[in-house]
Amino acid sequence: MKTKEKSGANQLIELVVIIAVAIGLALGIQAFLVKPYRIPSESMEPTLDVGQRVLVNRIGGRFSDPSIGDVVVFHPPAGADTNQCGAPKPTDQACALPVPRRSKVNFIKRVVAGPGDHIRILNGHVIRNGKPEKDGYIRPCAPGDDCTLQREITIPKGMWFMMGDNRGASDDSRFWGPVPKKWIIGGAFATYWPPKRIGLL
């Protein structure tokens, strides 16, 4: 009888340990490796819809720079809340410098330029180092959208310029500047919800 009681107690302890380890692994994976992220706005349409969920690689961004075309999750500058640029600028120019503090919120956008790149924007299309961006994935600006910033800027060292794919409805680096690497959380690499949209980015 005592043997059975001991066996039952051991099984309960083993189950508790297994559950604790599983929870610990799940939290560790989310904190350091892969994190789920819900799309909060229409700024990345048609690539990503409101409510769609993606997986973000948190570890890759720590060791390598993002590439042009990557979709990344990051902390925008604190000025993003009010479209505040970190330096005075003419109305026909994108913001070339963010405010020095980062926001606590997360954004998801596409990398369109990196350190040292020269860019200007014509009707929502990025002209990078004199060449038009290959942007078949974007939703173009509609008539009446203010999408032209034709005065060229240079992206500072260690920073990346982010734009939403929905060029006429995205709050992005055009208004609050490029993002330092240390504010980038990671690259989105796959969608997992809804089921009909499961796939790699």
Task: Give backbone dihedrals phi and psi of 140, rounded to 5 degrees, phi first.
Answer: -65, 160
In 51-89, which positions are buried (b, 16+ CB within 10 angstroms) versus exposed (e)? Answer: ebbbbbbbeebeeeebebebbbbbbbbbbbeeeebbeeb
- Considering the candidates 43, 103, 170, 173, report the single residue annotated as catalytic: 43
Amino acid of residue 5: E
Q: Is residue 109 annotated as a catalytic residue, yes or no?
A: yes
- Considering the candidates 7, 35, 104, 109, report the single residue annotated as catalytic: 109
**81 DSSP 8-state letter:** G
Q: Is residue 43 annotated as a catalytic residue, yes or no?
A: yes
Q: Which helix (H) or strand (E) holds 7?
A: helix 2-32
Residues annotated catalytic, as ranges:
43, 109
